Chains A and B, each alone.
Chain A
């Protein structure tokens, strides 16, 4: 391969400058501020500041609310990932078998992805509103008293549905593309050998789909952990009794509503470490070990 040699030492830096500036201003600088803030204790207006070392972090580990938030985040992320990937895979497999109108079907399924998370949240909030929503009305007919305002499990179900619904479209697209890359001859051969549709799916399609599945797994976990803020904010606001208070929402609530900057910064540093870990997993593991 031919390598381009730049004789001018300045030019590459100039070309990189816009990107570097963006990275510095929007990533490195705020991250540095958060790290600095996490070692400080400050009043709301920032008038009195004291250095407290690791106290903000030790306080987090001692806090039952924070440990609860970790647990809630884990349950939430796993549920969202399973629901959105499961449903997407089911839909993708159905589309793959369709001969006619699969394009229309695909187009329609992609629509929810264009809906902003806050709008998706409001949408589901209305559908499940205990007083005016259609779902509680229907659930009432089969004898279930839906109330996500006071029931922790109902609230969790609501935010999982609202968050997963949006992500189904994205997963669906990747699964459809992944399915189309699997040669039809393999499945036909299995069919001739007498394998039924279920057997063919689990023995041939699903294993061959694993690169896509691994990739989506990481993407979905990242989505559930970091991009669902708007859904939570517009539906449950972390309640009831912190049952849906995921880590990202807690950072916002403690810092911006509660004005406790030190603790909020310490929590965002913890989140930063999680992002770094997930990124390493994605690059070291998923991208290299799974064969495409």
Chain B
């Protein structure tokens, strides 16, 4: 009996020390469904490629939920080493100087292989400080594109190979589709804030805020109540009243994709990263892809679209060996093979030039129509101050305000100018608060 006990105790100690030999690195992320499964596959690849570190991915819900969880954990001193934060959280993360380890610093300290110039400029610009240092590790970046139902186009007597290029065509095509009875509504959209406000502004070379859309510093204020944005919101309201456009709800617009899948709406504007999901759901009809529409009477349009998605931030206050592991993991993540695989599976943009080139070499873009649209759109022109990206504090809340004011507009309580003025006024109050808090 006692011998058995000793033996099992020894076995226990042995197993414990074996577990200890590998340093565990917690990675909190917001990738659910198919993307989450792919992410775990990538992590597994890393864990099997070496025997020092074990990255443990944990799904924490939506982007805001993941960020909130990480911040709450930091306040309770239980933070993960790596957390995935969406682009609008960038302002908040950057301002939290004591809470984060900038990626350029991490890679330098750990002596890891890291060349910021290998990343696509449209991606890096969004996540560097004013000195050009990369603060977080780009992981998944996407840009909104247009998906359309070729079958409905054909039924309505439209050319299924020609998606609408301008908003005027968008309106015209939608009307034809509805009049012919091919579908009940013309188009819907995910993300009114990201697509119909921020990207609309960038695509028409209009500012969203002062100080280069906030990239210049925390004293920036909003300015998205310009004539182009007002005109577009006015149109959306008009089209919603006519039934041409259907609103899919706040934040990501959860109700928008079902409208497209069920063939109720003929077109949807959504993230290029929803491509995998759209293909999986659009089984009964043929799918087409196009760039975002633009107003051809606005000078400088189309400029280029901006990215969305998320980067990986490293939080401070973890043991040293975890940082060594995090640096190794980042090296692995940005390798062309892993990047190309992730990009081709998910529809997120390849974040390095090497991954893009690898995809071209493999002939991936010819084989998969629509997979290059986002890339072409994001690199359409050299980014201007208005189309590099945006960076504001408290921006999660400001996005909420954009949704709310848009809903006020739809409900008929405000006109487009009034709604956008209210976004600016309420948003600026939050920006002032943020500037005061972070000093």
Contacts and interface: CB of A to CB of B under 8 A. Distances in A.
Contact of B255 (A42, A48, A131): A131
Interface residues of B, number: 41
A180 interface: no
Interface string A225-249: 0000000000001011110000000
B266 to A, nearest CB: 15
Given A240-B250, A257-B68, A259-B71, A43 B95 contact: yes
Chain A interface residue bracket vs B: 20 to 34
Instruction: Say whether chain A's binding surface is mostly helix, strand, loop, or mixed.
Output: loop
A149 B98 contact: no
Nearest to A239: B250
B87 interface: no
A26 to B, nearest CB: 16
B72 interface: yes
B439 A152 contact: no
B404 A239 contact: yes
Contact of B250 (A47, A237, A256, A258): A237
A259 B92 contact: yes
A260 interface: yes
Contacts of B400: 253, 257-258
Contacts of B64: 257
Contacts of B408: 241
A149 to B, nearest CB: 5
> Which of A45, A50, A259 has the most B CB atoms < 10 Å from its CB?
A45
B407 A239 contact: yes
B405 A44 contact: no
B258 A152 contact: no
Given A45-B75, A240-B411, A259-B396, A131 B264 contact: yes
Contact of A149 (B71, B75, B95, B247): B247
Contact of A151 (B250, B258, B411, B437): B411
A131 B411 contact: no
* Complex A-B, nearest 10 residue pairs according to Cβ-Cβ distance, in ascending order: A241-B407, A240-B407, A258-B397, A45-B99, A43-B437, A45-B96, A131-B258, A149-B249, A241-B404, A241-B408
14 contacts: A45-B96, A47-B97, A47-B99, A131-B259, A150-B240, A240-B404, A240-B410, A241-B405, A241-B407, A257-B396, A257-B397, A257-B400, A259-B394, A260-B394
